[in-house]
Chain A
Amino acid sequence: MKRRELLINIVKHVLLIIYALFALFPLFWMLLISFKSDAQMFNTTFIFTPTLENYDAVLLRTDYFRYFKDSLIVSTLAVIVSLLAGVPAAYALANYEFKKKEDLAFTILSFRFAPEILVVLPLFMIYQRIGLYDTYTGLIWVYQLITMPLIIWVLRGYFEDIPIEIEHAAQIDGYTWWQVFLKKLLPLIRPGLVSASLLAFIFAWNNFTFPLQLSGTNIETVTVASLKYLASDTVHYGQMAVAAAFSSLPAVIFALLIQKHLVRGLSFGAVKG
């Protein structure tokens, strides 16, 4: 019995290590080549002379930080708008009954299914007409198609998990509805709030189609800007690697910051166990 278990354990670990290597390798490679010069790009693998010339080229000699700023503004504000509208919406879906409630809920979810390419051309024309082309407002608004459904769906689940009696108890204790919401309910949905926000942020940040079509020269996100590194003569892989690595930073930092709030169901234990 014991030997068999040991063998199974070893095989399990080996398979997991292989998979981990497989999954993480591209990231590792990306970091690696960001330090390789174009000259050494194709004739070396792991042993080469590291150089900062790609970093220099991308960060200091292009407008990279401007693109970074545009991405940051649009993504962050899009998530904030989604939270402001989405949290109350999620609460309403969880706690009230009204006609066609599930139809409405499904409609909101369906925004995530629709391929962006389908809507982007008509939107382009409309945006041109109403003057939202190439503006922050325009992008933030259209990003709601990406960020809001996620936030509403995740938070609806969290609100549903909170027993209605907690609200009743707080009301009876003497709190107004707003205070009940802010002081008692929001802390309970915090894990959902941060995880949905993070995911929404990542989707917004990574979006390519909308900023490509609906903004021009005023606003360029890092995703759109990365096209610039596809030069007509050569592809500067090293520079692209730097751009890609840097682009992934905000999401990683955000995730690390909110980690401690991703605590297992805070509602656990409030009611009879």
Chain B
Amino acid sequence: MPFKQETREIRQERKTLIVAIILFINLILISSQIILRNQRSLLQTVVGNLVTPFQVAWQSGSDFVVNQWQRYFFLRGIYRRYQSLKEVQTKLKYQNFLMKKELRDLQALQGLTVQFQDYLVARVIAVDSNFPYHVVVIDRGSSQQVVENQTVINLDGDLVGRIVKPITLFSAAVRLITSSIGGAGAYLESNRLEGFVTGNGNASCTFKYLLGNRPVKVGDRVLTSGTDRLFPPFIVIGQVTAIEKDYLTQNIQVKPYFVDKPIKHLIVIRHEEKN
């Protein structure tokens, strides 16, 4: 029987392992020379396919960490910044409100300047709490050439009423158009049908003397017609809120615009309209 002189005995498992390692190395060598259809070697393809998921995972992981880190630094102190910005925003909103109000007043005055040659801004100093839709008192009187029957409008140009007695040096009474005494010549803007608006003693007025067969719609605007020779024409009064058919005429309810707006400042038109 043949025998080999082994100087150092290696266990069979280890021998197999050594051979497997060497064979594996050889296979790698061979695979590096097998060119696939994608013009890359088998080794490159296999290594690429094995390594790419780890590369992608690594890149995604590092991107995630970097993004979270940047986000953390970005978010640090964000609450304080948020509070300060909110404060600034509140200030700006308030400024915006003030400027809008100022602009509205200026536009109203500018509009009045175009429409009327001479007017006077007055402040309401008294309202009769028992009859709030009847008379108010303003702080302009005969010393500012305020006379009876002058037209009074609010800052938006809506008809409020007219000057009535008593008129003192520094005050005057304004009879509102919602007062049940008096009235104003008016017409419907949509079809120019004329009538007469008189107050009901509450927040509404009645448009009278319109024939029953005339078309009227809820929401139509009502303006002064000027035919009463008290109020200048084309001043906005309000809008139609309800229509009731009578025998010959229609009972039309009109809500003046000024009742829904602040009545602190009013404008007294001292002369008739320019146009």
Real complex partners, A and B?
no
